[in-house]
Amino acid sequence: MTNRRLNRRGFLAATLTAAASAQIASLTPAAPAALKKSQKSPPNIILIMADDVGYECFGCYGSKQYKTPRIDQMSAAGVRFTHCHSTPLCTPSRVKIMTGMDNVRNYYNFGTFPKGQTTFAHMLKNAGYQTAFTGKWQLELVSGLFPKDVGFDNVCRLIGEWPRYWKTPIELNGKKLPAEKGAYGPDRFTAFATDLIKNHKPSHKPFMLYFPMTLVHSPFQPTPGSKDRNSRNAQRNFEDMVAHMDTCVGRILDALKQAKLTDNTIIMFTGDNGTHTALSSTLDGRTIRGGKGHTTDQGTHVPLIVAGPGVSAGEVCDDLIDFSDFLPTLAHIARTDPPTVADLDGRTFWPQCQGKKGSPRQWLFNYYFPRPYVKKYDNKYRHSEIRWARTKEYKLYGDGRFYNVQKDPSEQTPLPPKTAPTIRQTLQKVLNEMPKKGANINYKKTSK
């Protein structure tokens, strides 16, 4: 399909049947509540989170292997963070980014969002935002909570997990859309996002769109842009998937420009955890094996790029960023207060986006116990609780292992006990002050 055809018909018509397009057009709020004339609207916010992709897969981070021109464009127009860290698996990172709390406090089970949590959607909705969700949810197991249950007004989501690319089952605001032959799931989710942007008017309340993408998670399949639509080469297909992920981001950037919303929209791009372990990438002359599911840098080090009004263009920030920091940052952007809940672990990085010093982290803490209900720990996702604290250079585990992760990112050689005693003492204090056991320990398993 040529760009000319896409420009004429729009992405919705290009990716959906007429009936499905009509459903989206009718269910997307065309006229959200208007602002009072005396009100000055805070910026719109778009948070895009790719699935299973580390920092090493982007041109703006130095990759020559992957094609990401639109995300690189975002980086050139905004701030690129070099030390953003997630939890190394999808569910815990999603719970953390939405609640601003470390997983040790509120993570219970894989595939479930815990009940009773305040999310950034709740927070922004209370601040007057229209909230929307598109893409992968995957958090309804056990708790039975869906996006509309945690603060999102307008929802276009993948039903279940599979198939996520071709013949994708999609639910739009409670109504199931047909799984169309020849339609590519990521394009349909992106079409929802671009349609939301196109329908927004200056008189409307600001919108917040959360887009946890289905790309680039396995299975590694050809995309609409692949030269070989029958390829079974995982590495080649993955590279095509990264390119298509970039294309989807570009469509959102283009929609903002066409709607004249670029100057009033903050857009963020990150990844939920590191790249799949079956894949390898070359960066700065070294081979980086994907580390999804592992607590090394390859599992936690993800991209973070922020662009929009007030953001310093072309800046690179080396401050530590934790996934719990997103919620207070979104509050800062929206000119509202974070939720008044105990143990909010995040801190805003919005000042750094503006070129200011802010209050950068000296350390971050992480807790990882993705499948607590499994009695036999027999693979990388099934193990006992893991706790660690780290600076940009050093990392201390709860069991005493200590690494210079700047020199040894794969954690091959533990440091002797007397190495860097001051930093080790600081990190030990962090571990001592955080809970020793996760909230999941007292959680009753009600699923397989």
Tell me, yes or no, whether 290 and 375 share the same domain: no
Q: What is the pLDDT of residues 58-84, one digit of tens each?
A: 999 999 999 999 999 999 999 999 999
Tell me, yes or no, whether 131 and 217 share the same domain: yes
- The domain boundary, picked from 312, 335, 365, lies at 365
- The domain boundary, picked from 365, 382, 400, lies at 365
Q: In CATH, what number is assigned to the domain containing residue 311?
A: 3.40.720.10
Q: Which helix H or strand E contains 191, and what residues bound it?
A: helix 185-198
User: Strands 130-135 and 207-212, how do they pair?
Assistant: parallel
Tell me, yes or no, whether 201 and 293 share the same domain: yes
* Residue 233 forms part of a structural domain: yes
DSSP codes of every residue in 131-180: EEEEE----BTTT---GGGGT-SEEEEESSSS-SSBS--EEETTEEEP--
Tell me, yes or no, whether 356 and 381 share the same domain: no
User: Strands 265-271 and 44-50, how do they pair?
Assistant: parallel
Residue 393 corresponds to which amino acid?
Answer: E
- pLDDT tens digits in sequence order for the chain, 448 residues long: 333 222 323 333 333 444 444 444 433 433 344 444 445 789 999 999 999 999 999 999 999 999 999 999 999 999 999 999 999 999 999 999 999 999 999 999 899 999 999 999 999 999 999 999 999 999 998 899 999 999 999 999 999 888 899 999 999 999 999 877 789 999 999 999 999 999 998 889 999 999 999 999 999 999 999 999 999 999 999 999 999 999 999 999 999 999 999 999 999 999 999 999 999 999 999 999 999 999 999 999 999 999 999 999 999 999 999 999 999 999 999 999 999 877 899 999 999 999 999 999 999 999 999 988 765 555 666 678 999 999 999 999 999 999 999 999 999 999 998 999 999 999 999 999 999 999 875 555 443 3
* Residue 276 forms part of a structural domain: yes
What's the structural domain count of the chain? Answer: 2
- The domain boundary, picked from 365, 400, 429, lies at 365
Distance CA 32, CA 52 (A): 34
Domain ranges, residue 412: 366-442
Tell me, yes or no, whether 125 and 271 share the same domain: yes
Collapsed DSSP state (helix, strand, coil) of residue 322: strand
- Among residues 242, 46, 55, the alpha carbon closest in space to that of 129 is found at 46
Residues whose CB falls within 8 Å of the CB of residue 198, separated by 6 or more in sequence, listed in order: 10, 255, 258, 259
CA 20 vs CA 176, 178, 180, 251, 300: distances in Å: 10, 8, 10, 20, 38
Tell me, yes or no, whether 332 and 344 share the same domain: yes
Tell me, yes or no, whether 336 and 385 share the same domain: no
* Residue 227 forms part of a structural domain: yes
Tell me, yes or no, whether 98 and 151 share the same domain: yes
* Residue 223 forms part of a structural domain: yes
For position 26, what pLDDT does the model report?
A: 39
For position 6, what pLDDT does the model report?
A: 27
* Residue 152 forms part of a structural domain: yes
For position 340, what pLDDT does the model report?
A: 85
Residues whose CB falls within 8 Å of the CB of residue 9, separated by 6 or more in sequence, listed in order: none
* Residue 447 forms part of a structural domain: no
Distance CA 93, CA 87 (A): 5
The vertex-113 CA angle with 386 and 128, nearest 5°, equals: 125
Tell me, yes or no, whether 103 and 246 share the same domain: yes
* Residue 448 forms part of a structural domain: no
Tell me, yes or no, whether 356 and 418 share the same domain: no
Q: What is the pLDDT of residues 371-408, one digit of tens each?
A: 887 655 556 666 789 999 999 999 999 999 999 999 99
Distance CA 4, CA 269 (A): 27
Collapsed DSSP state (helix, strand, coil) of residue 329: helix
For position 160, what pLDDT does the model report?
A: 85
- Please give the structure tokens belonging to residue 262: 């670029």
Tell me, yes or no, whether 261 and 273 share the same domain: yes
Tell me, yes or no, whether 361 and 381 share the same domain: no
For position 373, what pLDDT does the model report?
A: 73
* Residue 374 forms part of a structural domain: yes
Beta bridge partners of 50: 271
- Please give the structure tokens belonging to residue 81: 């963070």
For position 63, what pLDDT does the model report?
A: 98
Q: What is the pTM of this model?
A: 0.91
